[in-house]
Structure 1
Amino acid sequence: MSNVRSAVTDEQEFYGLSTPMELVETYGSPLYVYNENILRKRCRELKALSSHPGFRVNYSAKANANLSLLRIIRSEGLVVDAMSPGEIAMHLAAGFTPDEITYVCNNVSAEELRNAVEHGLLVSVDSLAQLELLGQVNPGGKVMIRINPGIGAGHHAKVVTGGKDTKFGIGPDDGDKVREILARYDLTLAGLNQHIGSLFMEPDSYIEAMKFLLREAEQWDDIEVIDFGGGFGIPYRKYEGQARLDMQAMGEQLHACISEWAERTGYQGRFMIEPGRYVVAECGVVLGTVHSVKNNGPRRFAGTDLGFNVLQRPVMYDAHHDVEIYREDGTPVAETMLQTVVGNICESGDIMARERDLPEIQEGDIVGMLDSGAYGFAMCSSYNQRQRPAEVLIDSDGKDKLIRRRETIEDLLSFYPEFAATAEESKKAANM
């Protein structure tokens, strides 16, 4: 489809039989678009990391919980984690069975823990207080605990989840306290898990943390599940030639680590990794429309409908997403200029891409923020009372289909009692 700036999606045949302009014309703007073939490829790369019979890929669904994507992920043989009652409901609707769902929660109520237990899920807790609460809710049951390995990794302080500066996990020195609580409530410690952070691009810290958790596992009987966490990085700077995480090297080290340990200890349970981003990030692009272009002094701004209500990562994490530019009858443009891509939210921080060297953006262009399948739609909001966008899947045959409709103003009003009855009547009429 070669366009103004589209080399990455051209190579991937990302939009299948459609163009970005056609998709926006059909489904509106902004618009999340996912590619099924890329999603399946990433699932298979992760499954190929180890042939050990106990190895499982546990998709961290907070990255993206769209029902259609969950069904594809399940069809590729991945299991899934949940961290809220809503995620449990989505996973069950997608076809996952209770033995395929792990509840990995953080600072939740007794009601939430009871809900997970009643659904037959193995629950992982990450503090002594939560372990105590689960014991009160489910005496005599099984539990996982999240260990803080003291090792952190990630591209931003807000995504580092291991080490002393984070809220997550039970310290490795708290073993005696854990045993006291387990005994008090006749709980069986069935699993251990950890997470060091997000977006690592070298395997060393992850393998180091794996070895730490395996040493911890040797101190406990009855362990059935060892979950090493996720954080597998993807190259967000594709136009700069950023290298991929070496999955072959990662797999060789991971497989050797778990195979040698299992042989030495006689362990016959499950080993799990818990990726989210790696599964879905690269299968997603969010499209937006350029409505205004202007200069403020020396700075050039391209104003779009991609506010941080649609894509939060650049504002929240200073995250980089490559930008592509499409227009009707567009052709590749080599000459570039510094431009800042901004959204339509009334905040000075509403910046999607700051001071980028890009071909000149024009009003009416469609821009695509690449690699937005993870923590894109999942973190959307209705800030400024804007409605969340639609989601579309490009299937394995290149055809597009709607997998989540665009929200409406009626949806926003339906949460208020005086409008709820009208909204319900409208739904019934639409289904007649």
Structure 2
Amino acid sequence: MEKKTFVTKEQLKEIIKEYPTPFHLYDEKGIRENAKALKEAFSWNKGFREYFAVKATPNPFILKILQEYGFGCDCSSETELMLADALGFQGPDIMFSSNATPAREYKLAYDLGAVINLDDITHIDFLEKTTGIPKTICCRYNPGGTFTISTDIMDNPGEAKYGFTTEQLFEGFRILKEKGVENFGIHAFLASNTVTNEYYPALAKVLFETAVKLKQETGANITFINLSGGIGIPYRPDQEPNDIRVIGEKVREVYEQTLVPAGMGDVALYTELGRYMLGPYGCLVTTAIHEKHTHKEYIGCDACAVNLMRPAMYGAYHHITVMGKENMPCDHKYDVTGSLCENNDKFAVDRMLPKIDMGDLLVIHDTGAHGYSMGYNYNGKLRSAEILLKEDGSTQLIRRAETPEDYFATFDCFDILSNMKYR
């Protein structure tokens, strides 16, 4: 099964007349349709709200689109909080989930009225000394061990640096209640990028049962449960995508089996999806500029790992389409590389693709989340532009490409550019 692009070769040929490759391209139509589907899937829960994980795609134009659907922001740093504030997200529109958090970031979150999601029991005292304890607060739960569905180990929460242990969670709720907290939330992230409709219901069962016990043993007023992220996308063409409506219905069944009988049928559900919301609706467009025939066959692109870090960092698979050759046989084996001075700067290793000619446009799929946002400047490389493919087929530049002036701007005591002889 072949993954299809949301843009045609003809459209790309027009786009590159104005914006040279490489660049990240986003599909407005797909983003909007997915936002609607998520809202519909959880419409049975009156308090449902998606807090988009800003770290996945921190672009104001994207955030404004999601804001139209009533979504909030899940922020994890000072600058993400500043971005949310600048875009008009206010108070409970913002969830602040961070770890090893500096005092100034807690203070900014508190001043903005954001819902603070505490990562550790020791942060209770830290927060109290920094800002005071707010009336509404959330705590991140890590039950430890391994998280399994059927016989497949999905992830290892016990190895994760995040969250309260079970004992700490109950003790933390008691302490916070004594300190005047009136409304509580709990949050957990137990597995990443799951391509199964069973993950969210299994996670919900853990959280719902924990919430019931917390209410019974601490008397805490639990007003929301944050199911966080973890719903994945099919990076590989042979994977079946998740069905968000099936997921929503399965979570509803667990909610009615667990929370409703405990008198907690008014608890709001939150999500903080990043990859699921944006991943498939972005791609990295790059041009083949070199071919190398040595011990292997290499195709060198004008993009590199600074534009998409996941393959180099995780060995992650991202599908590649050679535009205009979608129906040609994949009878050539290539390593598709960038130009960094690192051997792991490869978008694909031993990938079977159609014959690639110099100048061919390559679309690297599923970069809409954790693509541009993980970029960096190693080797002095400059981050690429971000472009929105609008519903009417037109394009909008939503972040310009970096320039050498941007790269040198932080050398405020040494004017690099004026000293360059070639200038």
Gaps of 5+ in 1: 155-159, 424-432
Q: 1:182, 1:189 within 8 Å by CA — same for their partners in 2? A: no
Out of 196, 209, 213, the position equivalent to 2:207 is 213
Supply the distance in 2 between the matched residues of 1:105 and 1:143 (Cα, whole angstroms).
13
Alignment of 1:378 onto 2:373: yes
Separation of aligned partners in 2, 1:87 and 1:230: 18
2:342 partner SS: coil
- How far, CA to CA, are the matches of 2:221 and 2:307 in structure 1? 45
Decide which of 103, 117, 129 is 1:136's aligned counterpart.
129
Secondary structure in structure 1 of the residue aligned to 2:393: coil
Aligned partner letter, 2:403: T
Does the Cα contact within 8 Å between 1:136 and 1:185 map onto a contact in 2?
no
Q: Which residue of 1 aligns with 2:16?
A: 24
1:169 is aligned, of 163, 166, 172, to 163
* 2:49 equivalent in structure 1: 56
Distance 1:188 1:7, change over 3 A: closer
Separation of aligned partners in 2, 1:96 and 1:223: 24
C-alpha contact 2:280 2:368 (8 A) present in aligned 1: yes
Q: CA deviation at 1:181?
A: 3.9
Of 255, 263, 273, which aligns to 1:266?
Answer: 263
SS of corresponding position for 1:8 = coil
Q: Who is 2:301 aligned against?
A: 304
1:270-349 equivalent positions in 2, closer than 5 A = 270-297=268-295, 299-326=296-323, 332-349=327-344
1:57-206 matches, within 5 Å, as: 57-141=50-134, 142-150=136-144, 163-175=157-169, 177-179=171-173, 181-182=175-176, 185-188=179-182, 190-206=184-200
Contact 1:98–1:121 (CA under 8 A) maintained in structure 2: yes
Structure 1 counterpart of 2:25, from 22, 28, 33: 33
Q: Is the 8 A contact 1:151 1:209 kept in 2?
A: no
Q: Which stretch shifts more, 314-323 or 217-226? A: 217-226
Structure 1 contact 61–82 (Cα < 8 Å) conserved: yes
Contact kept, 8 Å, 1:197 with 1:231, in 2: the verdict is yes
Q: Amino acid of the residue matched to residue 15 of structure 2?
A: L
What does residue 427 of structure 1 align with? none
The verdict on how the C-alpha distance between 1:176 and 1:149 changes in structure 2, with shifts beyond 3 A counting, is closer
Q: Distance in 1 between matches of 2:117 and 2:155?
A: 15
Distance 1:75 1:421 in 2: 43
The residue number in structure 1 matching 2:421 is none
Cα distance 1:180–1:52, how it changes in 2: closer, same or farther (>3 A)?
closer
Distance 1:410 1:390 in 2: 15
Partner of 2:7: 15
Number of the residue aligned with 1:233: 232
Verify the 8 A CA contact 2:50 2:272 in the aligned structure 1: yes
Q: Structure 1 pair 107/130, CA: closer, same or farther in 2 (3 Å)?
A: same
Taking the aligned partners of 1:120 and 1:83, their CA distance within structure 2 comes to 15
Structure 1 residue 174: Cα displacement: 1.8
Structure 2: give runs of 5+ residues left out of the alignment: 149-153, 419-423
Separation in structure 2 between the aligned mates of residue 400 and residue 168 of structure 1, nearest angstrom? 40
AA aligned to 1:387 is L
Q: In structure 1, which of residues 360, 374, 389 is the aligned counterpart of residue 355 of structure 2?
A: 360
**8 Å Cα contact 1:162/1:168 also seen in 2:** no
Q: Give the Å deviation of 1:187.
A: 4.0
Match of 1:250 among 247, 250, 259: 247
Deviation of 1:305 after TM superposition, in Å, equals 1.7
Contact 1:52 1:259 in 2 (8 A): no
- TM value normalised by structure 2: 0.89
Look up the SS of the partner of 2:222 in the other structure: coil
User: CA–CA distance in 1 between the matches of 2:240 and 2:31?
Assistant: 19
Deviation at 1:150, TM superposition (A): 3.1
One-letter amino acid matched to 1:290:
A
Of 54-63 and 401-410, deviating more is 54-63
Deviation at 1:421, TM superposition (A): 12
| AA partner of residue 246 (structure 1) | D
State the SS of the aligned residue for 2:358. coil
